Amino acid sequence: MPNYQNKYLSLLSAWLLLLCASSVTANESQGISLKNNSLDITFDLSTGNVDHWRLPGVKNADDQLQDMAAPTGQLFALQGQLAGKPLQEWEQLAQGWTLEQQTSQEVVLSLKSPQLPFVLKKTWRLSEHAWRADFDVSLELPAAHRADGDHLELQVGPGVGEKPVSGLGMGQSIYSFTQLVYNTAQGVSTVRLGGEDEPSQFSSSSLTDWDWVGLESRYLAMILVPTKASQKPLQWTAKLPEQAESKQMPVSFLTSIFIELPIANSQELSTQTYSWNVFGGGKAYGALTEANPDLGGVLFSGLWDWLRGLSLFIMKVLQFIHAVIGSWGLSIILLAVLVRLAMYPIAKNAMTAQKKFAMVQARLQPQLEDIRRRYKGGEQSERILELYESNNVSPLAGMKPLLIILIQVPVFVSLYHLLGQTFELRDASFLWIKTLAEPDQLFSWGVDLPVFGAYFNLLPVLMALTTLLSIKVASASGAKTSFKQTMMSLLMGLGFFVLFYSFPAGMVLYWTSANIFQVLHQKIIKAE
């Protein structure tokens, strides 16, 4: 073979090898992934940031894999100044970050160069399961190369949110939000930025101490728990961008947290490390507490301790029922049955007392009318009380049925939060209901109405009707219903209809079922 041909083949081979190498580099530049059964984290080598935080097995509103990173944003970005230069300049000089180490459970990214007086590393570690990752930021910067104003800042967000729900009328705010969440010695607190009466930013400078901080939406959360006690005094600020990415993405969904990472001036300390346990996934109680026992406080954080305890207890009961029968819709109905059965003795006592009081009222009615005719003001009240006392009747006996309602108030509040925040209901369908976590949306109006939104919801109609039926059955048997009482009942039914119209279907399903079983209870008690 002629010599020029050998040279040609050698050049061609070298070119092919270079092309392959370039192809590998290009693929690597597209992202490095770290995966387990619950998380799929992709890193951008140009910035060292998290480009995608996907949740395998969890779908978003578009039936796509849930990604907790905003479409144009990156999570866990570092910014600031090192050795007198902005970090972005060092990244440009180094031509991005380097994949220093990668295993099935660990990724180490570094920013360094022979010309640079520092080494900056990001280390991520995953276990086999769970929505948890360990994250370290380490900086090696000799004191001789430090400059005034050197600092680092870790940005968490934008991201951590679900696609905003639309067409739900007055219930829009229930389903569409991203907010700050943090924990102190006083407990878990939340701040929703960007509202009409809400600030555009919130700083930890107003706190004496904090244990962890993060962002949460209705069903998802991204929380950073410092692993070093020295990191808890670190300052952070939650901010909104100056303007939203688009009209479809409200500005509140783009809340970010900026955590200050100060650089020590010590001559002896050349390497500094900041470490966190990061939870990024669904707000399921078991997943939260598995990642960190303190994270369980994220659920029902706005309730009093005893009411939160009741919510957690009912949640465990509901989960147990679901584990047995396998349907969240049937589990909610069965829960309503159990609650009514537990209240049956109280309801029976109240109905019996009401019946006796009605009979006494009928017997004493002539004397009551005579007292009302002969006496006025305070003396009239005294005479009526004396009449009741002489006949061994308590004037409060007729109010005992209200005990049933009062006892249910804490249960109702607990169920409202439970059925509106339970992550497992997010993808739970039942009959015509696509998800029990939102209104049932039987069909679309074709237009977005001010109060009712874009959908007709059947369950609130059924709940209002069963409420009216329950009121009717609860009235004393044989008693003539006045026009005023009828109108009050109709207004109450209408009020329940409007109030519950935008509530999660799981909540309305529970209350409708409870009404039906209450009617059955009332009929059984009256028949005894």
Confidence grade of residue 3 (pLDDT, cut at 50, 70, 90):
very low
Q: What is the mean pLDDT of residues 315-331?
A: 92
Domain boundaries, the chain: 31-299, 319-359+396-527
Contact 219, 504 (CB under 8 A): no
* Least trusted range by pLDDT, from 16-20, 209-213, 252-256, 346-350: 16-20
Over 50: is that where the pLDDT of 52 sits?
A: yes
**Can you give the pTM of this predicted structure?**
0.79
Q: Which helix (H) or strand (E) covers residue 332, if one does?
A: helix 328-342
pLDDT > 50? residue 166: yes
Higher model confidence: residue 313 or residue 378? 313
Pull the structure tokens for residue 130: 């769970």
Task: Reduce the DSSP state of residue 102 to 3 states and report it.
Answer: strand
Predicted pLDDT of residue 499:
80
Residue 48 in this model has a pLDDT that exceeds 80: yes
Q: Say what the pLDDT of residue 328 is.
A: 93
* Separation of first and last alpha carbons in the chain: 111
* Chain mean pLDDT for the chain: 79
pLDDT at position 144 is: 72
**Over 60: is that where the pLDDT of 379 sits?**
yes
Cα–Cα distance measured from residue 7 to residue 132, given in angstroms and rounded to the nearest whole number: 55
**Mean pLDDT on 246-254:** 66
pLDDT at 402 over 70: no
212-221, 264-273, 454-463: which range is least confident on average?
264-273
Structure-model confidence comparison of residues 480 and 105, the more confident one? 105
Residue 316: is its pLDDT beyond 70?
yes
Share of the chain above pLDDT 70, in %: 81
| Residue 332 exposed, middle or buried by CB count within 10 Å (0-12, 13-18, 19+) | buried
Q: Is the pLDDT of residue 329 over 90?
A: yes
**Higher-confidence position of 331 and 518:** 331
- In the predicted structure, residue 116 carries a pLDDT above the cut 50: yes
pLDDT reading at 252 higher than 80? no
Q: Which of 32-36, 355-359, 419-423 has the lowest mean pLDDT?
A: 355-359
Q: Lowest mean pLDDT: which of 130-144, 212-226, 382-396, 472-486? A: 472-486
∠ CA 248-250-252 to the nearest 5 degrees?
Answer: 160
Decide if pLDDT at 2 tops 60: no
Mean pLDDT on 496-506: 84
Give me the mean pLDDT over the 309-331 stretch.
92
> Is the pLDDT reported for residue 508 higher than 70?
yes
Q: How confident is the model at residue 509, as a pLDDT? A: 93
- Per residue in 472-481, pLDDT (tens digit) is 776 654 455 5
Q: Please indicate whether residue 108 or residue 270 has the higher confidence score (pLDDT).
A: 108
- Span 10-28, pLDDT tens digits: 433 443 333 333 333 333 4
Dig out the tokens for 123 from the structure: 């280390």
Mean pLDDT of 479-504: 73
What percent of the chain lies above the pLDDT cut of 90?
Answer: 18
pLDDT at 223: 94
Are residues 185 and 209 in contact, defined by beta-carbon separation less than 8 angstroms? Answer: yes
Q: Which of 45-59, 156-170, 385-399, 490-504 has the highest mean pLDDT?
A: 45-59
Task: Give the pLDDT score at 484.
Answer: 67
CA pair distance 333, 520, nearest whole angstrom: 15
User: What confidence tier does 399 reach under pLDDT thresholds 50, 70, 90?
Assistant: low
- Residue 72 banded pLDDT, cuts 50, 70, 90: low
Q: Is 336 in contact with 510 (CB distance < 8 Å)?
A: yes
pLDDT exceeds 50 at position 524: yes
Please say whether the beta carbons of 318 and 334 come within 8 A: no
pLDDT at residue 437 above 60? yes
Separation between Cα atoms, residue 315 and residue 84, nearest integer Å? 54
Name which residue leads in pLDDT, 385 or 77.
77
Among 420, 406, 381, 377, which residue's Cα sits nearest to residue 507? 420
Amino acid at 350: A
pLDDT at residue number 221: 92
Which residue would you say has higher pLDDT here, 11 or 518? 518
Half-sphere exposure of 92 (CA within 13 A, CB side): 5
CATH number corresponding to 31-299: 2.70.98.90
d(Cα 411, Cα 407) in Å, to the nearest integer? 7
Whether pLDDT at 154 is above 90 = yes
Who wins on pLDDT, 72 or 313? 313
Q: What does the pLDDT average to over 419-437?
A: 85
